[in-house]
């Protein structure tokens, strides 16, 4: 059974996305500290790719078009039936699981999730199971800032406090293997926050 988290404000929602991974988001546009559409735009720019369903009393065609154009995957006007909301969420989740690719590629890095192999510029790269898991979460979230807590919990199903120091060790190993060739850095460290695959 999937767990649910409910928050009231834009700030709380953004904090949650930094701390935890979610299968899908239901976003109300009328929030006490900001506009849901602007919040969604910020998420998409930061690399958040999970499906988002907008709930709103704004039911004009132009409102729905605008919501979809800024990055929503679906739009449901108020009032709505709970049965329809649940059906739409099931549809989004099915679609999300169907589009997960077996091979991820970015900046010359090719990660095959089925064969469990990694190549850089066509050359094989040997990774331990933990290094592979760490690279996988970055390749699935290119450009997104990932918190240290989220990485530890999602990659290794471990509590953040137990893995915090090890994470730095594994990041150093990934950098040694993928940033050996002169050029722009592959990974960016955000001190006190986490890491980002550029």
Start and end residues for every CATH 3.40.50.2300 domain found in the chain: 10-98
For domain 103-197, which architecture applies?
Answer: Orthogonal Bundle (1.10)
| pLDDT for res 157 | 58
Which DSSP helix (H) or strand (E) runs through 111? Answer: strand 109-112
Q: What is the model's pLDDT at position 1?
A: 44
Which of 178, 90, 197, 89 has its CA nearest to residue 140? 197
Q: Which tokens belong to 56?
A: 């709103």
Kindly report the pTM of this predicted structure.
Answer: 0.54
Which part of the chain is CATH 1.10.10.10?
103-197
Strand ordering across the sheet containing 74-77: 25-28, 52-56, 74-77
Question: How many angstroms separate the CA atoms of 23 and 110, rounded?
Answer: 24
Residue 195: helix, strand or coil by DSSP?
A: strand
What pLDDT is recorded for position 171?
92
Q: What is the pLDDT along the chain (198 residues), one digit of tens a residue?
A: 456 889 999 989 888 887 777 888 999 988 888 888 999 988 887 767 788 999 988 888 888 888 888 888 889 888 889 999 999 888 888 776 655 568 888 999 999 988 889 999 889 999 988 899 899 999 988 888 888 888 887 776 555 445 567 888 899 999 999 987 777 899 999 888 889 998
Q: How many CB atoms lie within 10 A of CB 196?
A: 19
Q: Which residues contact 46 (CB under 8 A, 6 or more apart)?
A: 143, 144, 145
The position carrying tokens 């986490």 is 194
Q: Are 158 and 152 in contact (CB under 8 A)?
A: yes
CA distance 47 to 147: 13
Contacting residues for 34 by C-beta, under 8 A, at least 6 apart: 9, 10
When the candidates are 3.30.750.24, 3.40.50.2300, 3.40.190.10, 3.90.1170.30, the CATH number that belongs to 10-98 is: 3.40.50.2300
């Amino acid at each position: 059974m999937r767990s649910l988290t409910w928050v009231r404000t834009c700030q709380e929602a953004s904090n949650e996305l930094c701390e935890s991974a979610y299968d899908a988001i239901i976003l109300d546009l009328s929030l006490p500290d900001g506009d849901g559409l602007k919040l969604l735009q910020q998420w998409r720019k930061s690399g958040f790719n999970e499906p988002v369903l907008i709930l709103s009393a704004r039911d004009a065609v132009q409102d729905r078009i605008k919501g979809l154009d800024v990055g929503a995957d679906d739009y449901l006007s108020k009032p709505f039936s709970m049965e329809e909301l649940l059906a739409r969420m099931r549809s989004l989740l099915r679609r999300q699981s169907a589009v997960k690719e077996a091979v991820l590629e970015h900046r010359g890095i090719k990660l095959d999730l089925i064969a469990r192999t990694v190549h850089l510029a066509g050359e094989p790269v040997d990774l331990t199971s933990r290094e592979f898991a760490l690279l996988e979460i970055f390749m699935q979230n290119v450009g997104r800032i990932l918190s240290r807590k989220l990485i530890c919990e999602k990659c290794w199903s471990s509590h953040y406090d137990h893995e915090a120091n090890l994470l730095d060790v594994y990041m150093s190993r990934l950098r040694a293997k993928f940033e050996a060739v002169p050029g722009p850095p592959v990974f960016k460290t955000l001190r006190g926050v986490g890491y980002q695959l550029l």
